[in-house]
Amino acid sequence: MEIGSVTRSLRPRMAVGEIFNFAYDTFCSNKVRFALTALGMVIGTASLILVVTIGMTGKQYVLNQIQAIGANLIYAEYVSGGERITNVTADPLTLADMQAAQEDVPGIIAASPVIPLGERIPIGGGKERDIQVLGVYPEYRIVRNLVVLSGRFFDAQDEQAHNKVGVITQKMAEALYGSQEEAIGKVIKLSGLPFTIIGTFRERVDTFGQSEVIDNTMVIPYTVSRYFTDTPTVRQIYFSVADPSMVAPATAQIKSVIQSRHRPESVYNVENLTQLVAVAEKTANALTVVLLLVAAITLLVSGIGIMNIMLATVSARIREIGIRKAIGATNREIRFQFLSEAILISLIGGFVGVIIGLALPFSVRFLTEYRIPISGLSAIVAIVVSSLVGVLFGTVPATRAAKLDPVESLRYE
């Protein structure tokens, strides 16, 4: 009795090992057929990993582009006197609002007012060009994350001394003087006052004219820009905080400070790039999901291919199944045999697909300077999905094989 029980306890384990060995031998004896079947799984698994990589890369690129517009940027501007209010005196922002926010809101490391001025300058041959002049603080370069291409940006000494200097955009320098280097030292007259160009700049990310900086923009010290205005108001105020985690609370606090200094019905926009970042993240995630669905369809097609091949295999091995049943193989063992073959095909295709899917982004990282994000989780998901495909689409052929009648199978030619 004890020997029989030991035999029964050992038999399933031996059967499982024998079944896996038999599935491996079957794979080796039909390499071409199984390789072509696994090819679809390779493509689908590699596509899944690459889709995740592409989605993460696109998401990182978009977020980097948004962040490059300004380092932890917060901007404030006057909108209107309020809803259903007419014939009231405007209540725009002033330099005192910026100073009050710097004193009352913790975390602000830099701030600058912006005064836009429209000017026309002569360009020779009796022609003139419309340009935009912005009166700002030296900190404007830090707040807006500008790139100085040649020369220098004006500093606090220029601001305090009311020096008539300015920096112009790269495109304006090339349009007026042919190159950035040629623009340095040139003089532009604004309302008759000569301003010396001391540098050229560009936005770190091209906003295509959707920001306050356009192609024909000249930036001058705020104190000098006051020569051209009669009022102490400013169009916008830019702030930069020390840490990204401080952007949201600082935005609310700045708005509270500004609102408390003006009429209750006046409306001010105090915003940051957080909402834009959130929208970009949602868009990138949605695109990734769509691409993942395409990859899932590829895996689905691969699974159907596995099922078709396994059904054909069952038909070709009916006599073999009858012999195995005749010598004692159970329906469960027959089912597991064919299911293990389907899983083996899926796993081999899955592992090869993972290797290919990870090899491409790793090659880009090692051979170039681009730091493409790589998701290890996507590789795990790809293996799990390929295993599930093998189980799901291998069940039908395995069940069909298990239900074959041994006597009829032995008579099959």
Question: In 3-state terms, what secondary structure has residue 219?
Answer: strand
Instruction: Give 246's DSSP letter.
Output: G
Beta strands in 103-192 (DSSP E): 108-124, 127-136, 146-151, 165-169, 187-190
Looking up tokens 């868009």 gives 283
Distances (CA, A) of 142 to 34, 95, 186, 250, 262: 61, 18, 25, 18, 28
Give per-residue pLDDT as tens, 63-97.
777 766 665 889 999 987 655 545 567 889 999 99
At 103 the pLDDT is 92
Closest CA to 112 of 136, 88, 131: 136
How far is it, in rounded angstroms, from Cα 314 to Cα 400?
8
Per cent of the chain over pLDDT 70 is 84
Q: Take residue 295 and report the two structure tokens written for it.
A: 């990859």
Closest CA to 208 of 65, 102, 79, 320: 65
Give per-residue pLDDT as tens, 270-291.
988 777 777 777 887 887 788 7
At 11 the pLDDT is 40
Is the CB of residue 118 less than 8 Å from the CB of residue 133? yes
For range 283-310, the mean pLDDT: 77
**Would you list the DSSP string of 277-301?**
HHHHHHHHHHHHHHHHHHHHHHHHH
pLDDT exceeds 80 at position 329: no
Q: Take residue 289 and report the two structure tokens written for it.
A: 């999901």
For the chain, give every domain's residue range: 15-65+279-411, 73-272
How far is it, in rounded angstroms, from Cα 117 to Cα 12?
87
404 φ, ψ to 5°? -65, 140
Q: What is the pTM of this model?
A: 0.63
